[in-house]
Chains A and B, each alone.
Chain A
Amino acid sequence: MAELEEELKSQIIESLNLEDIEIGDIETDAPLFGAGLGLDSIDALELIVMLEKFHGIKIDDPSQGKDIFESIKTMAEFIRAQKA
């Protein structure tokens, strides 16, 4: 079950150009925004592209992103729910 979570971590590092951060540095339940990884509004939009490109899920309303991208855990839950 944790495979998707690990995959998301590596996709985030790649898509958001997170230098000096490795998969092991990202905790599954830790907040992605705010203090955590220092992500900003452009990163949030980039995560929307990432979901579409790698997982085939389209988000039209960017305000939905706030809940979905809270943590790796919430992202994975969202993807599983969409695919179920």
Chain B
Amino acid sequence: MSKDLLILAHSVVRSSSILVNGEKDFTSSEQDFKTFIKEAYRNYDLKYPKFFKMDSLCKLAVIGAEIVIENSDLAEISNDRIGIVLMNRASSLETDREHQHTIDDRENYFPSPATFVYTLANIMAGEIAIRHEFQGENMCFVLSEFDVDLMHQYVSNLFESGKIDACLCGWVDFDDSNYESVQYIVGENSSKNITFDVCTTKEIYNVK
């Protein structure tokens, strides 16, 4: 490897609070996810009406991504060299259940295209890509838990093969009102000296 890979910025969204680079950035007394995430949207002033059309998983992913991207200097990097590699446990099951509900009863059978389109885990990457015009490598894994080793292997490989200059990485999971987003940007140049390795990623994830 030519250069050490660094973490440019990281964010954690869980239990109605948001951490940016390890510091508490936003908290809400609202336990309900839908209300909390709307408050977060207003707090960060996204001005993005499409946000309200998204399912919960995508809303979580978009907020978590927004704040790491804002805190990373990606100006020198071409958009087609910025990848998105995400993982989660429940895929899109939350919205899958909602779509299934619309077809369970033949007397009340109204499958909705606006729901169905969110029954794929990687749509969250698509939403982030559209908002930030990231056109690089895409990957979405579904695993029993956040696999920091796999993330490290996969993303390091993308850098080594010369396909990307930066990568938005993350564990973004939403299941039956439980949610968790840990996202970080990996790149080659940063004033912060946070090495992208398995140990550091675990520390970022495990912070309470």
Contacts and interface: CB of A to CB of B under 8 A. Distances in A.
Touching chains A and B, CB distance < 8 Å? yes
Interface of B: 49-53, 110-114, 117
A4 B87 CA distance: 46
A27 interface: no
Interface in A30-67: 38, 42-43, 45-46, 49, 52-53
Given A42-B117, A46-B112, A52-B110, 12 more contacts: A15-B114, A16-B114, A17-B53, A18-B49, A18-B52, A19-B51, A38-B50, A42-B113, A43-B114, A45-B113, A49-B110, A49-B112
A52 B169 CA distance: 41
Contacts of A17: 52-53, 114
Interface of A: 15-20, 38, 42-43, 45-46, 49, 52-53
Contact of A16 (B51, B53, B110): B53
B69 to A, nearest CB: 22
B49 A38 contact: yes
A4 B110 CA distance: 21
A27 to B, nearest CB: 18
Contacts of A46: 112-114
B186 to A, nearest CB: 32
A21 B51 CA distance: 14
Secondary structure at chain A's binding surface: helix, strand, loop or mixed? helix
User: 10 smallest A-B Cβ distances: which pairs?
Assistant: A19-B52, A45-B113, A46-B114, A17-B52, A53-B110, A17-B53, A42-B114, A49-B112, A42-B113, A49-B110
A26 to B, nearest CB: 14
A42 B49 CA distance: 15
Contacts of A19: 49, 51-52
A52 to B, nearest CB: 7
Contact of B113 (A20, A38, A49): A49
Contacts of B114: 15-17, 42-43, 45-46
B55 to A, nearest CB: 10
A75 B27 CA distance: 43
Nearest to A41: B113
Nearest to B51: A19
A56 to B, nearest CB: 12
11 contacts: A16-B114, A18-B52, A19-B52, A20-B49, A38-B49, A42-B53, A42-B114, A43-B114, A46-B112, A49-B113, A53-B110
Contacts of B50: 38
Contacts of B53: 16-17, 42
Nearest to B38: A19
Contacts of A18: 49, 52
B119 to A, nearest CB: 13
B114 to A, nearest CB: 5
